Amino acid sequence: MKQAVQKWAEYYSGVENTLRNMRQVKAVATAFNTNVDAVLKINGRRLAELARETGLDWQALTEVKENKLHMPQDVIRGAFKCFSKGIAEEWLTEDIGVFNFMSEQLGFDRLQMGGQGGIVANALAVCGVQQVFCHCNSLSELQARQFLPLDNLLSFDENGAVKAAHQINRTADTPLIHWIIEFDKGDVFELDGHKVSCPKANRFIATYDPLNLRLVMDENFVDYVARQKLDAVILSGYHALTAANGGVELIEGSVPVVQRWQDRGALLHLEVASTQDKIVRKAIVEKVASRADSIGLNERETIDVLEVINEENLAKICEEDCTAVNLFDALLRIKKKVGSRRIQMHMFGLYVTLQDKDFPVSPEANRRGMCLAATVAASKAGSGHINEVKNLLWSKGMDPCAPGLEELKKLGDYIGDENLVLTGISHYEDYDVIAVPTILVEKPLTLVGMGDTISSVSLVSALGGQLIQKS
């Protein structure tokens, strides 16, 4: 394994050059979901105060009929449920009264960019892509402040003019805010003689986002992007839809829009994301993933896709034993049934890409892109943010993790290529296989948006390297 560590240190030594090559990528668009995350750390004492202020006694607090925010009291019910069980849940609302309550009574400790579209746009812009167009169905001043102050990070004002996103203020737009309410293990809540200790640090997300929940599109963005020559479109935002809210029809309605972008030559990458509604999940797979050039998933999302392509047995195997070998079998099955030309899966310690042999990005360019993505992701975890160029390579020089190398060796043995642990590149059946052991940070400061960052930086930086080779 010592030889493998040395070999991967050599591959990782090229990340600075790979990052530099991202400047060759002329234009990328990110769509559809962009919002504001309002992060709030709350303790048990304050949560109990809010319960009393909103008229909740113990019985009313613990009586949860539906995981949805119909009234202000439901915000407290949801937060207490997650606090008392140490679990994470997200409840949604389209009620402006609930939004006003959260704005006025909860507040926040800090604001940050939310939504895959916004997170990816910030990441690609700071990495040096020449133009990054970000879709925003709401772009208030509050939303604009979450964009990095970069001239290459663009969106559209109310008149359809292209401007630096951080300078736009559509005054008629209401901010779309996801309150991320965090709590600590061991904190205590007391109400009406009842006492509860939080068993595990976790969070409750209370979301006011009526536009993204209905996949509302900014027509200025849609029309402008359709006329441009784009290198790639990073697509996301379908996961918040529900069948009850017409999610399947909304997905179908987006297909002609997406097709226009592809017809202009853009490489289309879909972030599958965690989609709770199985009807919507199946529609995403059948109607969007099937036409995407590339899709990105983590291990949980891989299992979720198996469940809607009639591969429940394999899903159960992966659920019970989430190894690279089992997940590779899952990727093969998804590749054959869904048909996307490239699939990238990120799991603990390892990234795996499975792609057609004629995919326009070579295995070597993919490996370089995946090494850069692992470095940027670790840098984000270790430094807390990648809002500045100097933070992008914070983790450069750190060794790839032992668990990743071990999983890579097992995967190589499984596909009959003992050199995979040394090269990260192989072939299986009709596909190229690229696998990269990642860098792990022992005490991460943040994990928000990590998967989105990995997928987008990996693909777009690989495109940059490919453009260099062609020039």
Per-residue pLDDT tens for 314-349? 999 999 999 999 999 999 999 999 999 999 999 999
pLDDT at 447 over 50: yes
10 Å CB burial of residue 67 (0-12, 13-18, 19+) is: middle
Taking the CA atoms of residue 237, residue 363, residue 461 and residue 376 in that order, the dihedral angle to the nearest 10 degrees is 80
Best CA proximity match to 333, nearest among 365, 291, 285, 369: 285
Please provide residue 59's backbone torsions phi and psi, each rounded to the nearest 5 degrees.
Answer: -65, -45
Task: Identify the residue with better confidence: 466 or 321.
Answer: 321
Contacts of 269 (CB under 8 A, 6+ apart): 232, 233, 234, 235, 292, 293, 294, 295, 296, 455, 456, 459
Domains within the chain, CATH numbers bracketed: 2-32+215-470 (3.40.1190.20), 37-114+174-208 (3.30.1110.20)
Q: Which pLDDT value is given to residue 59?
A: 96
Contacts of 444 (CB under 8 A, 6+ apart): 381, 382
pLDDT at 469 over 80: no
Work out the mean pLDDT of the chain and round it to a whole number: 94
pLDDT at 235 over 80: yes
Average confidence (pLDDT) over 206-233:
94
Distance from C-alpha of 368 to C-alpha of 458, rounded to nearest angstrom = 8
Q: How many CB atoms lie within 10 A of CB 442?
A: 6
pLDDT band at 446 (very low <50, low <70, confident <90, very high): confident
pLDDT at 466 over 70: no
The pair of three-digit structure tokens given for residue 245, joined into one six-digit string: 């809210």
Average confidence (pLDDT) over 223-239:
95
Contacts of 100 (CB under 8 A, 6+ apart): none
Q: Which pLDDT value is given to residue 468?
A: 55
Per-residue pLDDT tens for 365-410? 999 999 999 999 999 999 989 999 999 999 999 999 999 999 999 9
Average confidence (pLDDT) over 206-231:
94
The pair of three-digit structure tokens given for residue 229, joined into one six-digit string: 């020559």
Pairing assessment for the beta strands 188-191 and 194-197 based on DSSP bridges:
antiparallel
Q: How many CB atoms lie within 10 A of CB 185?
A: 11
Task: Identify the residue with better confidence: 451 or 314.
Answer: 314
Q: pTM to 2 decimals?
A: 0.92
Task: Identify the residue with better confidence: 93 or 165.
Answer: 165
Q: Which pLDDT value is given to residue 132?
A: 98
DSSP label at residue 238: G
- Give whichever of 60-69, 162-171, 442-451 has the largest mean pLDDT: 162-171
Sign of CA dihedral 75, 80, 82, 83: positive
pLDDT at 448 over 90: no
Distance from C-alpha of 26 to C-alpha of 471, rounded to nearest angstrom = 14
Distance from C-alpha of 19 to C-alpha of 291, rounded to nearest angstrom = 29
Q: Which pLDDT value is given to residue 57?
A: 97
129-133, 274-278, 422-426: segment of lowest average pLDDT: 274-278
Please provide residue 183's backbone torsions phi and psi, each rounded to the nearest 5 degrees.
Answer: -145, 160
Q: Which pLDDT value is given to residue 240?
A: 87
Distance from C-alpha of 279 to C-alpha of 247, rounded to nearest angstrom = 9
Best CA proximity match to 8, nearest among 370, 296, 299: 370
pLDDT band at 470 (very low <50, low <70, confident <90, very high): low
Please provide residue 123's backbone torsions phi and psi, each rounded to the nearest 5 degrees.
Answer: -65, -45
pLDDT at 467 over 90: no
pLDDT at 105 over 70: yes
Across the beta sheet with 232-235, the strand order is 162-164, 153-156, 131-134, 27-31, 232-235, 267-271, 294-298, 342-347, 350-356, 431-437, 425-428
Q: Which residue has the tokens 């998933």?
A: 297
Average confidence (pLDDT) over 101-111:
94
pLDDT at 471 over 70: no
Bridge partners of residue 355, in order along the sequence? 342, 432
The pair of three-digit structure tokens given for residue 33, joined into one six-digit string: 């979901």
Cα 28–Cα 31–Cα 33 angle in degrees, nearest 5: 145
Q: How many CB atoms lie within 10 A of CB 27?
A: 19
Distance from C-alpha of 115 to C-alpha of 128, rounded to nearest angstrom = 21
Per-residue pLDDT tens for 154-173? 999 999 999 999 999 999 99
Average confidence (pLDDT) over 45-61:
97
Per-residue pLDDT tens for 25-44? 999 999 999 999 999 999 99
